[in-house]
Chain A
Amino acid sequence: MTTEPCWHPDLLRRFVPTPYVFSTCDGLNQFFVESNDLEIALSARRSGILHRQCSQERGLFCRLIRDMAAPVDASEMTIVSNGSLRVLCLGQGTILIYDRERLELLGFISRNVRVQELISSLIPTLLRG
């Protein structure tokens, strides 16, 4: 008989619930957004650049977490890319990841980053590469 494991706490915040989910289909291209923040989820769903990315790459899965526990620190922006993975950091608290091969846009957004900045500046900068 096996029992449900007693897991280590979720220190990486991988399993933050994301109740706001939107999914649309344009032909064969599926555009999927999930977030723990309604404003982020709605803005991502309406984002032209994300829809264009979805059409060009034939699909896009976005999981964006508003991270209230993340440090709010200096706003130096760094992008590190290797192969199909591209990571944008704004300070330490905001981290956006785009995997071109897996068509996934993942991220933690610290509380000092406004949704407008995320959608119109950070995400376009990340995807531009």
Chain B
Amino acid sequence: MLVFSIDQIALPYSMDLCFAGAACELRTNYSQLARMLENLSISKDYAVPSGFSMRVYVEEASDAVAGEPHFRGLHHVVTASFGSSNLFVFDILRRTVSARVSAAIGRDERFWKEKLIPITLGVLGSAMGLVPVHCACLELDGEGLLIAGVSGAGKSTLSVALSEIGFNYVSDDWTYMSRRGNGIMAHGTSAPVKLLPDAVEHFQSLQGRSLQRSMNGELAYEVDIVEAFGAQVERVCEPRWLIFLERTQRAEAIFTATSHGKARTYVNSSIERLPSQLYEATAMREQTIEAVALLPSWHFQYGGTPQFAANELWKFVVHRRQEIYA
């Protein structure tokens, strides 16, 4: 039997970090992990008021790689294990993460970037006023464009195409929403952009790169958008518009205004139902969802290349801004 009292073990490396608007007080016994997470951390300028604490004990003698993930939750506690050597315990009410992991996990940047940080934000986000929404986010002159759609609708390719014509990139798949005064803020993480194999037909800079097996088993290009496309990255913006993508066969671009109810249903469909013990988190989350649902939203049916669709969206945003500022 192995016993780890995380609050009694010496965890000498301590730092204040921030991931997608969530301040994180990290303590660990493993300097490599501390350095790696520091590199993934962003500015705390727009962090939500409530952060979380993360205590990670790394067993330096263990080199067990991440096994099959297994998640369970009851009341305010969620557990995530990746094989029997890597266990994470999330306490939503107290906003804490306690973990015991192997050294292999302690230095696996991809694991933290693509799995653990998004999982942590997804699980604890509701207690901090951060709501994960399955959408991409681009920014232009401080104003954010949220692009929602089912997997395969083209969020990532469109995000890259928009970043090539002057939009700043915030996120391509999951965006974390928080309330700020009467408005909302959209936060991105440092996760790589994931593009399906056919994206190479539209983006020359993918040529010569190899496809990787992503965490969900899909074969895809996983690239750093700055390194691969020279994109400008913003970590936070104030969203103004919400677009629902739908691909069609013809090269066309049709915008149709949609109801707030559609936006509300969409956001709700991508989040976990919370147990009654978390009523405060539920109430806070509902306020944020309502703020997202009240954004002006459009259904965007498009065909043709991502570059064609990006140009149509560019014209759409310019037109909307002219209407607002006229």
The closest CB in chain A to the CB of B273 belongs to A7
Known: A13-B72, A80-B4, A85-B91. A92 touches B83 (CB 8 A): yes
Query: How far is A12 from B91 in the complex, measured between Cα atoms in Å?
Result: 14
Task: Report how many residues on chain B are interfacial, defined by Cβ distance under 8 Å.
Answer: 41
| Interface residues of B, Cβ cutoff 8 Å to A | 1-7, 55, 67-68, 70-79, 81, 83-84, 87, 89, 91, 94, 96, 98-100, 261, 264-265, 268-273, 275
Identify the interface centre among B2, B68, B78, B96: most chain A CB within 10 Å of its CB.
B2
Chain B nearest CB: distance from A5 CB in Å?
A: 4
Task: Report how many residues on chain A are interfacial, defined by Cβ distance under 8 Å.
Answer: 43
Report whether B94 and A14 are in contact in the complex, using a CB–CB cutoff of 8 Å: no
User: Given the complex, which residues of B lie within 8 Å of A71, measured CB to CB?
Assistant: 68, 70
Report whether A80 and B265 are in contact in the complex, using a CB–CB cutoff of 8 Å: no
User: Given the complex, which residues of A lie within 8 Å of B2, measured CB to CB?
Assistant: 76-79
Query: How far is A70 from B1 in the complex, measured between Cα atoms in Å?
Result: 21
Those of A1-16 within 8 Å (CB) of chain B = 2-3, 5-8, 10-15
Chain A nearest CB: distance from B65 CB in Å?
A: 15
Report whether A80 and B1 are in contact in the complex, using a CB–CB cutoff of 8 Å: no
Report whether B4 and A97 are in contact in the complex, using a CB–CB cutoff of 8 Å: no
Report whether B91 and A5 are in contact in the complex, using a CB–CB cutoff of 8 Å: no
Chain A nearest CB: distance from B74 CB in Å?
A: 4
Report whether B269 and A70 are in contact in the complex, using a CB–CB cutoff of 8 Å: no
Tell me if A87 counts as interface (CB < 8 A to partner B): yes
Report whether A81 and B6 are in contact in the complex, using a CB–CB cutoff of 8 Å: yes
Query: How far is A91 from B94 in the complex, measured between Cα atoms in Å?
Result: 26
Query: How far is A1 from B269 in the complex, measured between Cα atoms in Å?
Result: 18
Query: How far is A71 from B261 in the complex, measured between Cα atoms in Å?
Result: 39
Known: A6-B265, A11-B272, A87-B89. A81 touches B7 (CB 8 A): yes
| Interface residues of A, Cβ cutoff 8 Å to B | 2-3, 5-8, 10-15, 63, 65, 67, 70-71, 73-74, 76-83, 85, 87, 89, 91-93, 95, 97, 99, 102, 104, 106-108, 125, 129
Report whether B89 and A82 are in contact in the complex, using a CB–CB cutoff of 8 Å: yes
User: Given the complex, which residues of B lie within 8 Å of A107, measured CB to CB?
Assistant: 74
Report whether B98 and A6 are in contact in the complex, using a CB–CB cutoff of 8 Å: no
Chain B nearest CB: distance from A23 CB in Å?
A: 17
Query: How far is A124 from B8 in the complex, measured between Cα atoms in Å?
Result: 21
Report whether A63 and B75 are in contact in the complex, using a CB–CB cutoff of 8 Å: yes
Report whether B84 and A80 are in contact in the complex, using a CB–CB cutoff of 8 Å: no
Candidates A78, A93, A108; contact of B87 at CB < 8 Å:
A78
Query: How far is A10 from B307 in the complex, measured between Cα atoms in Å?
Result: 38
